[in-house]
Amino acid sequence: MSTLRNKLQLIGHVGNNPKIKNLESGKKAASFSIATNEFYKDLKGEKVQNTQ
């Protein structure tokens, strides 16, 4: 049986401290928010920053 693994890399700024949850299986899971920036030039040639 083949093992499938996915890899994801997010580059940004962490918004809040991580929230740690204890799962029923005894494992822990963390969740947090992240903000990313996008830069581009508009039709006038001016640099625009979009934060999500």
pLDDT tens for each residue of 1-52: 578 889 988 888 888 899 999 999 999 999 989 998 899 999 999 999 998 8
What is the predicted pLDDT for the residue at 1?
Answer: 59
Residues 36, 24 contacting (CB under 8 angstroms): no
Domain residue spans of the chain: 13-51
Rounded to 5°, angle at Cα 31 from 26 and 35:
165
Residue whose tokens read 């890899």: 7
Residues 36, 11 contacting (CB under 8 angstroms): yes
Question: What global pTM score does this model have?
Answer: 0.49
